[in-house]
Structure 1
Amino acid sequence: MITTTIFPSRYVQGFRATERLGEALKRYGQRAFLICDPFALDELVPRFREALEREVTGHFERFGGESSEGEIGRLADAARAQEAEVIVGIGGGKTLDTAKAVAHALERPVAIVPTIASTDAPCSALAVIYSPEGAFERYLFLPKNPELVLVDTDIIVRAPVRFLVAGMGDALSTYFEADACRQRYAPNMTGDPGSVTAYALAELCYHTLLEYGLAAKTACERQAVTPAFERVVEANTLLSGLGFESGGLAACHAIHNGLTVLHETHGAWHGEKVTIGVLAQLFLSDKSWATIDEVYRFCASVGLPTTLEDIGLKGVDDAALRQVAERACAEGETIYHEPRPVTPEAVVDALKAADAEGRRRRQQA
């Protein structure tokens, strides 16, 4: 059996890490083209621009708002005109995906500087392409991971706490999905099974959240960069990124995808819907009561959803849950990486069981 594991080339994290961005970028070239979302360009770039431009020549470009073919093309033309040697994305997910796509189009290295820790996307060899109106169009699978991911925790800690907590929800799925893939010898994002290294990192991600999640949230509420906060940012970004991409996906993200078909869930963030996928997966895969109790206690402690009402589905009926389950069980979905047989009926029942347990605990609190 052949296993494949993929990683970003360099991961840098810490307090005011952006002050070292120029030093890190000059490994890849002297002319940097930096794609920045409006907040990053106006509020964050002034903090480190002088230090960066002591090391490299930087051209800063404002991101237009959508990771669309048109915006990617516009920015690729601008980067080409600047004779850019390295592309940099600074901002949220769509900004970062656009930077990855521009770098791919120009065959240049890419550096990723996230301003929130709400998903594990910064480390991945993947970009999501949308229409100019914001509708999903396709995934762009890239031949390599970013050359550099640089995470400034002084920036991350100033974002709303909900971003960090949602990131914990996304990261919470990492171990359970990787473990399902391990048991079934299911493929990861490369198409091969993962390595023992990937599975071990996925497990470390889970235990980091359990041990430091609440302390990290408390620190973030006071905009305090503590060791616990640093650990959870790393879990949300690096460990979860390595775990999902090299360990594999299973039911949790498939159920998330199913939940998106219901308009009522659109106010919930990615990691919040993934959390419901985790809770349903606990029942779908017949996890022990000790594990179920551990996960529910963690979610309640940090403020992740534990009922369908928490993601906008108060009073949802079986017909709507059937729509979720049918989408989660679509052909080619990662739910079939689960080691147990899966059907739409089983997914509906798992969602109902997960919701009932969440409501039971809330009533007893």
Structure 2
Amino acid sequence: MSGSNNLKVFSSPERYVQGRNATHQLGNEMKKLAMKGPVVVVTTATPKKLLGEAWTTSLKDAGYEHTELLFGGTCTAAEAQRIADHAVTQNAKTLVAFGGGQIIDAVRAAVGLVGDGSVCEFVSCPTVASTDAPCSALCVMYHEDHSFHEYRFMCRHPTLVLVDTTAVAKSPVRMLVGGLGDALATYYEARTVHEAHADNFLGGKQTETAIALSKLCCDILLEDGPAAVESLYCQAVTPALERVVEANTLLSGLGFESGGLCVAHSVHNGLTSQKETATYTHGQKVAFGILTQLILEGRPREELDTVLEFNHKVGLPLVLSGLGVDVSSEKAVCEIAERSLAPGESAHNEPFEVTVDMMVDAIRAADQAGAKFLKEKEVSK
């Protein structure tokens, strides 16, 4: 986005609701915001099985007529258009997304195609804490082969974000772990954007609030991340899980938009150029991007060790082979580096020029640091 004459810009959803069995309050929360029907709920089979009865009863009790549409599986331009076309045929005034990051982004993009909030409002209901998508106005669009396509920025944020932590506690552990990787990048990227006096994702400069929320996000994750992961193994809603869900969803969502992105997310986009990474989560790829960014920037070794230790504790990748990529393949590493430095990529928010050679070296050095760490851990057993 273009600059805003050095104006500071901060933006957020209108209302955020989180807690055990929150889906039972969906209709009431929508009424508080004077949201209108008809409502179209876009979902997949798993959220429907887990929460379908709760949202059906809640919407009905609040006086909302609703229909349901199954998500196609990937957030592509064609899928967003399909959802938008369905919303128009239903005369929908509100679209609700239950699921993960891709379904939320696809429905958000569909709302933009219908009228971006002026014609149809958006309710974001994540059932996993795997990305910071739920609170954002950003849509990350992919090609059918799961490679990164483009960013789309909507004019408005979700009117309501509702997170049922009972559902999150029953989600796959790897999804929460991926969310930790995505959210941990928030502070490291926002800090660099601040140092570079670059624009955030809203096209303005950072507020103090944005950088403070980013730091709080990082602090919560480092403190509570491992315990939150443990709670999912027994499907328990614990205080640690509640705090981490808030960090992954709200703090990271506000922090990355109003704080800005940098190398970690551009490396993610570069990694999507390799078909081997398609089965790995967004956050797993971002996690390796954090290591790359810290090395590229020449940050203190203590910071790199902190992230390596965190990744190891929660199960995030420390090396490229953890994402299916062979670091000895010069072609693969160069392709990742080149894609991460494409025009418009967030890596250009560094306070210095980043070249492909610099990125290649940083990727290799990050892999080496991870490999050394893992070897030392193995020896110490």
TM-score surpassing 0.5? yes
Cα deviation for residue 78 of structure 1 reads 3.8
The residue aligned with 1:255 is: 267
2: CA distance, partners of 1:129 / 1:210: 30
SS in 2 for 1:217: helix
1: CA distance, partners of 2:296 / 2:146: 33
Residues 1:102 and 2:110 are matched in the alignment: yes
Cα deviation for residue 77 of structure 1 reads 4.2
128-137 or 252-261: bigger deviation: 128-137
2: CA distance, partners of 1:78 / 1:276: 38
Cα deviation for residue 134 of structure 1 reads 6.1
Given the alignment, which residue of 10, 14, 23 partners 2:15?
A: 10
The residue aligned with 1:121 is: 133
1: CA distance, partners of 2:127 / 2:22: 12
Cα deviation for residue 194 of structure 1 reads 1.4
Residues 1:275 and 2:287 are matched in the alignment: yes
Residues 1:85 and 2:90 are matched in the alignment: no
Cα deviation for residue 132 of structure 1 reads 6.6
Is residue 21–residue 164 contact of structure 2 (8 Å, CA) maintained in 1? Answer: yes
Cα deviation for residue 72 of structure 1 reads 3.9
1: CA distance, partners of 2:146 / 2:27: 32
Distance verdict in 2 for CA 1:253–1:46, change over 3 Å = same
Is residue 253–residue 334 contact of structure 1 (8 Å, CA) maintained in 2? Answer: yes
Is residue 59–residue 66 contact of structure 2 (8 Å, CA) maintained in 1? Answer: no
Counterpart amino acid of 1:219? S
1: CA distance, partners of 2:171 / 2:259: 29
SS in 1 for 2:13: coil
2: CA distance, partners of 1:40 / 1:293: 37
Q: Gapped runs of 5+ residues in structure 2?
A: 1-5
The residue aligned with 2:344 is: 332
159-168 or 52-61: bigger deviation: 52-61
Distance verdict in 2 for CA 1:94–1:280, change over 3 Å = closer
1: CA distance, partners of 2:28 / 2:219: 33
Counterpart amino acid of 1:6? S
Q: TM-score, normalised by structure 2?
A: 0.90
SS in 1 for 2:67: strand
SS in 2 for 1:267: coil
1: CA distance, partners of 2:321 / 2:347: 23
Spell out, residue by residue over 1:10-60, the C-alpha distance to the aligned partner (whole angstroms, 9 max, x if none): 111111111110101122125322222232234321134223311132312
110-119 or 54-63: bigger deviation: 54-63
Residues 1:63 and 2:70 are matched in the alignment: yes
Residues 1:43 and 2:43 are matched in the alignment: no
Is residue 38–residue 62 contact of structure 1 (8 Å, CA) maintained in 2? Answer: no
Given the alignment, which residue of 203, 211, 215 partners 2:223?
A: 211
Residues 1:20 and 2:45 are matched in the alignment: no
The residue aligned with 2:3 is: none
2: CA distance, partners of 1:275 / 1:305: 7
The residue aligned with 2:61 is: 54
Q: How well do the aligned residues superpose, as a CA RMSD in angstroms? A: 1.9
Is residue 93–residue 122 contact of structure 1 (8 Å, CA) maintained in 2? Answer: yes
Spell out, residue by residue over 1:49-78, the C-alpha distance to the aligned partner (whole angstroms, 9 max, x if none): 223311132312222414445544444344
Instruction: Map 1:265-344; keep pairs closer than 5 Å.
Output: 265-344=277-356
Is residue 267–residue 312 contact of structure 1 (8 Å, CA) maintained in 2? Answer: no
Is residue 6–residue 246 contact of structure 1 (8 Å, CA) maintained in 2? Answer: yes
1: CA distance, partners of 2:218 / 2:155: 28
289-298 or 170-179: bigger deviation: 289-298
The residue aligned with 2:201 is: 189
Given the alignment, which residue of 183, 190, 194 partners 1:178?
A: 190
Identical pairs, percent:
42
